[in-house]
Structure 1
Amino acid sequence: MSTRKRNQLKMILLGNSGVGKSSLMNQFVNKRYTNLYRATIGADFLTRDLTVDDNLVTVQVWDTAGTERFQSLGSILYRNTDCCLLVYDVTSADSFRALEGWRQEFVLQGSPRDPDTFPFLVLGNKTDLDNREVSRKLAEDWCRTHKMEHFETSAKEARNVEEVFRSGVRATLNQLKGKDRYVEHPDQVQLQTGKPSREWYCTC
């Protein structure tokens, strides 16, 4: 029987509505893709067990609504997050320009101990489409300035999806060694109630 410690990590996908956050999550966890679009209401999460660099890891992936209507939920959803994946659509310049706002909101409401070293990854999704508006160079230059790793993905074709999440896990495990990640919040609300996939809806 293995005596290796199992790590539990929470990863969150942030970005504008329609950039493919749900598709990325489902491709990573379930190896499935659908053309049917259903906007996420509030938040949804799935879990997957995997081994990264001989570490046993249970990854809880949170998919969040990319609309202003649900941004007030951020203070609850973002806390205790170990890695943040900022997602844009390579065919939408607006979704790329919105990344800085999503990053700032996560830092403000998620309260990581050291935002400068917190694991942020940037994903340019929908590379299977031809009508690109965001060049790889533009995105890579922006990520270099902000010291974040950049990937281009296609949830539809499963392009780089596995690599992105494994890189996020690896970066998180390296960053977490012996560190206290979060500022204490006495009123913190814990939403993770179990391993099975579930959806969490807001009636606001």
Structure 2
Amino acid sequence: MPLAGAHGGPHGGGAAASRRKILLKVVIVGDSGVGKSSLLDQYVNSKFNNHYKATIGADFLSKEIVIDDRRVTLQIWDTAGQERFQSLGVAFYRGADCCVLVYDVNNARSFENLASWRNEFLVQASPPGDPHRFPFVVFGNKIDVHESKRQVSEKRAVAWCQEQALAGGAAGVPATPGATGTTAASTHNSSMPLFLTSAKEGIQLEEAFKTIARMAFEKEQGEVELSFPDPIKIDGESGGGLHGADGSCAC
């Protein structure tokens, strides 16, 4: 997503750059029923409802946060998990700066489908640059349910995140573990960050979306730098440029 309200262009420095308004688009995908809408409502509005209706198409909410002294607006898109709506993905995935893959820790099938969701997102979004470097974050949701019902262990989820990163070189950042093993994020630098979350109790959401914002911002900054390469010097500084040693034109 573009930087909104930027002052002085991408190379503007100092206070103007720090005051620049930054809009980052985040897309949440995963099977129907894993809690995507609940996660979004809890994070943005601090609300939880046990009776959400299935999302049709997509919807989004925005939240303004401060990351490393920068004011950032996250535009978070909640997409339909039902197969009949997946063809609409291209309209909502384009321009995303980060993608969140969500599964239900109590539903093994939703976890097994993560690879399909990741691949579908990359096909539909067609992100610029190397698609394997696009930032993904994984949420294992509904950890508030009793552990006896859990079908996907944290160890299995961490292993999958590492495999995906090694296979495709996916972007990842170091993540800070939570207070206990059941809420810890993956701490492997080469892995997709993994957060075990609860939309019902709000577990790990603040930490998770801060990580998402940093990853999305780094991606956005990288694209801006690629769009504005270093200028060509023509005055003979730093090694001649377009002029010969005697000042005459070298062309």
Alignment correspondent of 2:87: 72
- The structure carrying a bigger strand percent of its residues is 1
Moved over 4 A (4+): none
1:82 aligns with 2:97: yes
Match of 1:7 among 22, 47, 51: 22
Residue of structure 1 aligned with 2:143, choices 96, 107, 127: 127
Structure 1 residue 57 displacement after superposition: 0.7
2:124 and 2:219 map into 1 onto residues whose CA distance is 20
Structure 1 residues 140-186: Cα deviation after superposition (integer angstroms, max 9, x where no partner) = 000011121111000101000111111100111123223269xxxxx
Q: 1:164 aligns with which of 208, 219, 227?
A: 208
Task: Show the counterpart of 1:178.
Answer: 222
Aligned pair count? 180
Answer 1 or 2: which has greater helix percent.
2
AA matched with 2:155: K
> Residue deviations 1:72-108, cap 9 Å, x none?
1011110001110000000000000000000000000
Could you list the runs of 5+ residues in structure 1 that have no partner in the other structure? 182-204
Of 144, 169, 187, 2:162 maps to: 144
Aligned residue number for residue 19 of structure 1? 34
Percent of pairs identical after alignment?
51
Rg larger for: 2
**Aligned residue number for residue 99 of structure 1:** 114
After TM superposition, the score normalised by the length of structure 1 is: 0.85
Unaligned stretches of 5+ residues in structure 2: 1-14, 166-191, 226-251
Give SS of 1:18's match: coil
- Summarize the Cα distance change of 1:180–1:67 in structure 2 as closer, same or farther, 3 Å threshold: farther
Which structure has more relative contact order (CA 8 Å, sep 6+)? It is 1
In 2, distance between residues paired with 1:32 and 1:38? 15
TM-score (norm 2): 0.69
Q: Which amino acid aligns with 1:36?
A: H
Matched residue, 1:51: 66
Instruction: Give the root-mean-square deviation of aligned CA atoms.
Output: 1.4
